[in-house]
Amino acid sequence: MRLWWCVVALVGLSACSSMPKSYTPQGPVESAPELWQGLTQEVTGKTDLLSLVPNTAIEPWLDKALVGNPGLRRMTLELAEAGWITRQERAGRLPNVSLVADASRKRETDTEKTTTTTGYGLALSASWELDVWGRLADSQNASELDESALAADFLYAQRSLAANFIKRWLTWVNGKQLLAVEEERLKTLALNEMVVRRRYQLGLGSLQDLETARTDAEQAVANVAVQEESVAASQRQLQELLGVIQPINALLAQWPDIDFPRIELPAYSMGQRPDLIAAYQRIQAADKRSVVAYKNLLPGFTLSVDLTQNRASSGDLLTTDPGWLLLGSLTQPLFQGGRLRAELKAAEQRAGQAYWAYRESLLAALLEVEAGLSRERNLKRQYEALNQALTHAQTSQRQFEQRYRQGLASILDLLNAQQTTFDIRSRVLQVALDRANNRIDLGLALGLPIKKGA
């Protein structure tokens, strides 16, 4: 009875420190708005990243990137490491058993004779910490949550890689289209230079017109070189994502129709994002560890048993009953210079940091979607306006070509009209790429999986 009163007194002494504050929200998505700004209802669309670029035959290449990318392979090993750490924590709740076997030979010599004795010993020890307060269980749960968070990080890394691969591929295909425009520009300007030179040789043109034509043609040569390097750089970026050094000439280089992702309600969309799930689980893990730090102040209970056997012959070790010792111990930390209480306060601060990191990630995720929706509206207007401008520019170019042949317009007027048309064509392609990349980014921000069912 006195022992139990002692335990109660020690627990009361430890309870002078209150339980740590819990920072874990009620769910993975906290304080999400009911609707997206500017949208009054859900928008139908594709529900996975690959469906945004249909009929492109890039899925095998994407699968290759998911397998061969060095960054993902490193994360796979980190996830495996987290699993072994969880197993270590789980092992802490089980008894520890050890076996010691020894043999000795002793020789004693006196004035009359020499005596040699041999001894054999066998000892079995077992100890088990009783998890009365659930401290070991909380520590194991914290490790399991860390492992789950890392698994969510890995899933988000896979989706990010898929989105980046699609965007790099789109940039590569778009670069080839821009290169074709620049090559056509060069061909047109080279033809202009030849026509102007011929007119100059016939005395129908001026040296100024010839130099202007030559200048524009040489600038076009430089633009082609710049665009060729841009295409090569895009291909190297694709090789980096694939984790290969070999060329990827077999990859399809045809521009696809980019579909729009399905827009769900904010709470649902944010709940599909693995990075937010990981941030939420890290709050839970930090809360568990602050509780573990609090329970380190409470008494610890340990049971231990020792079985020992010492005999002169090894054959007698297992034939007779061993000696044994059963011990139950209670340990209460009394003074460690404030280390345990400091660790408790530090654990509480880490939990708070995890909470605000989660809130920061949630805010950034919501703003990513809002920014993507805003850019979609703006890029749509740009794309439509530029296509209209391109129609007018092509009409104007044809008129100037006709007037130049009739001698009613100068070569400078013709070159300006042609340059305007080529510039607008390039801008149309660039806006098309920006719009496609924005839709991929929007799909990632909305938590779309790589494939259906993935």
The domain boundary residue, chosen from 332, 356, 388: 332
Distance, CA of 349 to CA of 21 (rounded, Å): 10
Domain shared by 125 and 172, yes or no: no
φ, ψ for residue 61 (rounded to 5)?
-70, -40
175 falls within a domain: yes
5 falls within a domain: no
Domain shared by 258 and 313, yes or no: no
The one-letter amino acid code at 179 reads L
Sheet bearing 96-109, strands edge to edge: 96-109, 114-130, 300-311, 323-331
Q: Which helix (H) or strand (E) holds 116?
A: strand 114-130
CA distances from 6 to 12, 135, 330 (A): 10, 21, 10
Residues 6+ apart with CB under 8 A from 168: 234, 237, 238, 241
The domain boundary residue, chosen from 332, 354, 379: 332
Answer yes or no: are the C-beta atoms of 266 and 34 closer than 8 Å.
yes
288 falls within a domain: yes
Distance, CA of 199 to CA of 193 (rounded, Å): 10
Residues 6+ apart with CB under 8 A from 210: 193, 196, 197, 200
Domain shared by 86 and 126, yes or no: no
Instruction: Give the pLDDT score at 17.
Output: 62
Domain shared by 46 and 112, yes or no: no
174 falls within a domain: yes
Could you tell me the sign of the dihedral formed by the alpha carbons of 349, 352, 358, 359, in that order?
negative
Q: How many CB atoms lie within 10 A of CB 108?
A: 9
Domain shared by 321 and 308, yes or no: yes
9 falls within a domain: no
Domain shared by 240 and 112, yes or no: no
The pTM of this model reads 0.85
In which domain, by residue range, is 119 found?
Answer: 96-130+300-332
Distance, CA of 149 to CA of 280 (rounded, Å): 8
Number of domains the chain contains? 2
Instruction: Give the pLDDT score at 229.
Output: 94
Domain shared by 374 and 407, yes or no: yes
> Structure tokens of 300?
């610890």
CB < 8 Å & 24+ apart, contacts of 389-395: 389/424, 390/421, 390/424, 390/425, 390/428, 393/417, 393/420, 393/421, 393/424, 394/421
202 falls within a domain: yes
Domain shared by 174 and 319, yes or no: no
The domain boundary residue, chosen from 286, 317, 332: 332
Burial grade of 138 (CB within 10 A; 0-12, 13-18, 19 or more): buried
Query: Left (φ > 0), alpha (ψ -120 to 50) or beta: where does 41 sit?
Result: beta
Answer yes or no: are the C-beta atoms of 124 and 97 closer than 8 Å.
yes
CATH code, 54? 1.20.1600.10
With H, G, I as helix, E, B as strand and everything else as coil, classify residue 181: helix
Q: Which residues is 263 bridged to in the sheet?
A: 43
CA distances from 384 to 255, 356, 389, 391, 435 (A): 18, 42, 9, 11, 12
Domain shared by 176 and 321, yes or no: no
Domain shared by 52 and 197, yes or no: yes
Domain shared by 122 and 243, yes or no: no
The one-letter amino acid code at 444 reads L
Tens-digit pLDDT string for the chain (454 aa): 554 545 545 445 444 567 888 888 888 887 788 888 867 566 788 889 999 988 778 888 888 899 988 899 999 999 999 999 999 888 888 888 898 888 777 777 766 677 777 777 778 888 888 888 989 899 999 999 999 999 999 999 999 999 999 999 999 999 999 999 999 989 988 887 786 777 667 676 667 777 777 888 888 899 999 999 999 999 999 888 888 887 777 677 788 888 999 998 899 999 999 999 999 999 999 999 999 999 999 999 888 888 787 766 656 556 666 666 677 788 888 878 788 898 889 999 999 999 999 999 999 999 999 999 999 999 999 999 999 999 999 999 899 888 878 777 777 788 888 889 999 999 999 999 999 999 999 999 999 999 886 6
1 falls within a domain: no
Q: Which residues is 103 bridged to in the sheet?
A: 120
180 falls within a domain: yes
CATH code, 313? 2.20.200.10
Domain shared by 123 and 158, yes or no: no
